[in-house]
Amino acid sequence: MKKWFLICMAAVCLIMVILFTSSSETYEEQSLVPVLDRLLADEPFKEQLQHISFDYAGKEVSIAADGYSGFIEFFIRKAAHFLTYFGMGALLYAGLRSYFGSRRWCLVISLLLPLLFAASDEFHQSFTGGRTPLVQDVILDFIGATCGVFFIKWAGRKKTRKSC
């Protein structure tokens, strides 16, 4: 159990280092648009997607506003937010539960730590050129972590029921 705890905590620390490093890069350094322009040169599903338009953090998100590749990149970036924090929450909860058992504070820490890290990471972005800290991204990160925690809780209950 202690080994699993250490593995989970090491993975959480690795995720945090990757996120911190990533938020230190400018948008231009991270932009996927040039790659997507090459990969999606035929603009598949453009007809279906061109009717989608919505507001995110006071900015219109649409093919008309961002171009085809920019529109696709938006969803890739937001999926990365969600999935990274899903993994962080899941690993935190799995590691803490394996070491400390079923304690309510394991749940609280597994939700609070990603929330605090997301907020501090967005603050850190405010010092990086071309990056904008967004409350909406903190919320998305927290939802990802929450889903990760509750996925592990659900998977643990399902596993316990099968073994009975």
With pLDDT > 90 as the criterion, what percentage of the chain qualifies?
85
Q: What is the pLDDT of residues 113-144, one digit of tens each?
A: 999 999 999 999 999 988 889 999 999 999 99
What is the total count of domains within the chain? 1
State the pLDDT at residue 157.
75
51-81: burial string, b at 16+ Cβ within 10 Å, e else = eeeeeeeeeebbbeebebbbbbbbeebbeeb
Beta bridge partner(s), residue 55: 60
Domain, as residue range, for 106: 2-25+85-163
Higher pLDDT, 68 or 102: 68
62 in a structural domain: no
35 in a structural domain: no
Q: Which candidate, 153, 82, 134, 142, places its Cα nearest to that of 114?
A: 142
With pLDDT > 70 as the criterion, what percentage of the chain qualifies?
95
53 in a structural domain: no
20 in a structural domain: yes
Q: Which candidate, 9, 4, 27, 6, places its Cα nearest to that of 88?
A: 9
112 in a structural domain: yes
Residue 76 predicted with pLDDT over 50: yes
- Measured on CA atoms in the order 40, 46, 50, 53, is the torsion positive or negative? negative
Phi, psi of 142 (to 5 degrees): -65, -40
Beta bridge partner(s), residue 135: none
Give 122's contacts (C-beta < 8 A, 6+ positions apart). Answer: 23, 133, 134, 135, 137, 138
37 in a structural domain: no
Give 136's contacts (C-beta < 8 A, 6+ positions apart). Answer: 56, 57
100 in a structural domain: yes
Q: Mean pLDDT, to the nearest integer, of 97-121?
A: 93
144 in a structural domain: yes
